[in-house]
Chain A
Amino acid sequence: MIDTEVLATAQRLGSRALSWLHAAHRDGLGRIPDNTLIDFADADNAYKPLGEVALAASLVLRDGVSGPADTRAARELLDGCWAQLREGDLLYERQLHHFTMTDPLETYGHFARAGYRHPALEELLDSLGRLRAAHAEEIRPNRRLGVANARRVVGLDHRPDWEALARGTWLGARPEPWAVNWMTGYDITHTVFHLTDWGARPEGLPGPMRDYVRDWLPVWLDVWAEVGQWDLVAELLVVDACFGEPTTGRQGWDALAAVQHEDGLLPRDGDPVDGDRERAFLDHQHTAVVAVVAGDVTLARALRATADA
């Protein structure tokens, strides 16, 4: 049964988070420094946030369940981020020089999903994919799934053993559900995101893992909502919409809606929000991205369910 109140809350929350992101980027808050070098060491602080914004915007365009204003905002965000990456040249140069790194591919996947293409980068990625070295990099198992999903989205030739990759994750081991902590909570959410391609392939989550998440997701959502870990709460709500009928009901959505600011900012946790706009943007942009994704995949799933009914 689809709870229309949940859908209304999800739509409003995601839409407001999207316009907060859009306004911030319009005012230049999301810009990477113009002098960013291709071999900057710390991708996380440089263009990782751009890739995350691109992810949220690409899903809005992919799922097509948003109104015209949100669709336009998503397109403008993608245009802006793509321009900052110099139409992909930045990713290409980084991938060329640091050819076993995975973040250029992971970032590119979000743009490729929305039709932003860089043929030279794709040729490079295709070639790198044939190296044993490209698959030998010792990265966290759920991130390995992210790389595999990026290759799939980009359309690169690859045949990963999805089941083996899934089994290698925390979620794949289906550990005692009370052993989870904040970090492994994110491991779980990301495993579901990549296996289901953010809700587009609900069947991508193996049955035993699906049953396990169904059993315990309501508990995890409850305990992290209680301590105000809103970023993780929003990620868990994404999970809830990535496969089958959601199990957690209104509680999480109502909690998030209650803490969202008038301008659309969604605090990442219960700490006070910094009064400085730039600081607040840096602190809470990830949560905005997750809120956009949560709203989008929840609406998309509900529409698919209605269409299938």
Chain B
Amino acid sequence: MPFAETPLRDEYAAAVERVARLTLDALRDGSPAAALAEQPAATAPRPLLAAVRVLGADLFAPRLLAGAGPDGPTAALLAEARRVLPAPLAPSEEAARVLGWQDWAVGHLLARTPYGGAVPPPAALPGPEEVGWRAWSVRMAQLSGLALPGLDGPVHEGARRHVLGLARGTVRSLLRHDLTTAARLARWLAWTEAEGLPPRLELGPVLDRIRLAGDGSARTGLDLAVAGRLAAGSAGSGAAGGAEGSGGSADGGRAA
């Protein structure tokens, strides 16, 4: 058994990639949800639970983008992962807030299932007016999992009000060959387009570039696929998959 020799981190990373691949496949196939575990949540192996915790709200992407709500089996697995695994340690106050919002997204979706209850929103993150477009866009990239139909809150409001900041962050990431971050920010850009806001950056060529020059990982693939679906939905009438609070409220994309 190679199990004992494999460093734990590699094993967990492989699990994340595997679960992301399953989710991506489900999204592409139009399956209602990825079949993540064959056994009940209570007996799921630890690497799987860790992966589920890392991917969080993204596990529901196939369903949310199809206009459906979170599914029971995935919700059960997520709830179990949150019960078994402690929240990761945040190296800084800012990082703690980012984790808080990622957690909020999961909690918010679980609250629509029998596996969770109402969750209060964590403390707001500083906007680009305070920290500049660069630092803000990096944080938004870390929160790309929130760019999904069915989620809305202060983070989303920030995205609506600062489309240019998201676009600048995307361009910066592309120029720095950080295509993982670029994909995450492109997903936000697609989300703002799905909200009906005027684009500040042509999305198609960006997605193409990342697809062709990126690392080919399932996680980045998932970001690209979500972005593609959101953008495709915005091309027609309104947002894809019944996003809440569509229509936007601000004047869109002020300079950071």
Contacts and interface: CB of A to CB of B under 8 A. Distances in A.
Contacts of A40: none
Interface string A166-185: 00000000001110100000
| Contact residues of B: prevailing secondary structure | helix
A215 B167 contact: yes
B29 interface: no
Interface string B138-170: 000000000000000000000000001001101
A167 B245 CA distance: 41
B135 to A, nearest CB: 11
A83 interface: no
A218 B171 CA distance: 11
Nearest to A181: B175
A265 B202 CA distance: 41
B112 interface: no
Contacts of B200: 215
A219 B202 contact: no
A215 B209 contact: no
A178 B201 CA distance: 10
Contacts of B174: 178
| Contact residues of A: prevailing secondary structure | helix
Contact of B168 (A176, A180, A218, A226): A218
B255 A178 contact: no
Interface string B178-214: 0000000000000000000000111001100100000
A36 interface: no
Contacts of A176: 202, 205-206
B175 A219 contact: yes
Contacts of A216: 168, 171
B172 interface: yes
Interface in A225-268: 226, 247
A177 B171 contact: yes
Interface in A174-230: 176-178, 180, 214-216, 218-220, 222-223, 226
Task: Tell which of A177, A180, A214, A223 has the most Cβ of chain B within 10 Å.
Answer: A177
A226 to B, nearest CB: 7
B176 interface: yes
Task: Tell which of B133, B134, B168, B256 has the most Cβ of chain A within 10 Å.
Answer: B168
A176 B210 CA distance: 14
A182 B175 CA distance: 11
A215 B198 CA distance: 14
Given A215-B200, A222-B134, A178 B175 contact: yes
Given A176-B202, A177-B201, A178-B206, A219 B255 contact: no
Given A178-B171, A178-B174, A178-B175, A218 B205 contact: no
B234 to A, nearest CB: 20
Contacts of A215: 164, 167-168, 200, 255
Contacts of B168: 215-216, 218-219
A223 B205 contact: no
B164 A219 contact: no
Nearest to B253: A215
Nearest to B137: A219
A83 to B, nearest CB: 44
Given A176-B202, A178-B209, A214 B255 contact: yes
A223 B133 contact: no
Contact of A247 (B170, B175, B255): B255
Given A176-B202, A176-B205, A218 B133 contact: yes
Task: Tell which of A178, A214, A220 has the most Cβ of chain B within 10 Å.
Answer: A178
A180 B175 contact: yes
A222 B164 CA distance: 15
Contacts of B164: 215
A223 B176 contact: yes
Nearest to A177: B171
A41 B202 CA distance: 45
Given A176-B202, A178-B206, A223 B255 contact: no
Interface of A: 176-178, 180, 214-216, 218-220, 222-223, 226, 247
Given A176-B202, A216-B168, A223-B176, 7 more contacts: A176-B206, A177-B171, A178-B171, A214-B255, A215-B200, A218-B256, A222-B172
10 contacts: A177-B201, A178-B171, A178-B175, A178-B209, A180-B175, A215-B200, A216-B171, A220-B175, A223-B176, A226-B176
